Amino acid sequence: DSGVTQTPKHLITATGQRVTLRCSPRSGDLSVYWYQQSLDQGLQFLIQYYNGEERAKGNILERFSAQQFPDLHSELNLSSLELGDSALYFCASSATQGVSYNSPLHFGNGTRLTVT
């Protein structure tokens, strides 16, 4: 058990809709990372938050946004959903304190999003 909790496990929704994915990091971890894994693109880094602030951005679409709350849980919001957004969305956490670049990653089990 990584200690990282993602909800929901599965989500089925229609095109044009908006969904929110939730991630609770491992206790004490300050960094949360979001990744998307689709069949045709593999794993891609979306965005990182550290202690409530956005710290790095990857291939995140403008229709997607995220935030990290004071209790360190994070939410990834996906709007105007398209068929191509169907994917596994993972979050990972790292760093109990200080810099996070040399801290191990702990992954959640992912949320499988299906857009129909």
Partner 1 sequence: KNEVEQSPQNLTAQEGEFITINCSYSVGISALHWLQQHPGGGIVSLFMLSSGKKKHGRLIATINIQEKHSSLHITASHPRDSAVYICAVRSGSGTGNQFYFGTGTSLTVIP
Residues that bind partner 1 (CB under 8 A): 2, 30-31, 33, 35, 42-45, 48, 50-51, 55-56, 58, 88, 90, 92, 95, 99-107, 109-110, 112
- Rounded to a whole number of angstroms, the minimum distance from the CB of residue 16 to partner 1 is 26
- Rounded to a whole number of angstroms, the minimum distance from the CB of residue 54 to partner 1 is 9
Cβ nearer to partner 1, comparing 1 with 62: 1
Q: 10 exposed, middle or buried (CB, 10 Å; 0-12, 13-18, 19+)?
A: exposed
Cβ nearer to partner 1, comparing 16 with 28: 28
Q: Hey, what are 64's tokens?
A: 């997607």
Per DSSP (E only), the strands in 1-116 are: 5-7, 10-13, 19-24, 31-38, 42-50, 53-57, 64-68, 74-78, 87-94, 106-107, 111-115
- Rounded to a whole number of angstroms, the minimum distance from the CB of residue 80 to partner 1 is 25
Cβ nearer to partner 1, comparing 24 with 31: 31
Cβ nearer to partner 1, comparing 83 with 102: 102
- Dihedral through CA 73, CA 52, CA 87, CA 105, nearest 10? -80
- Rounded to a whole number of angstroms, the minimum distance from the CB of residue 112 to partner 1 is 7
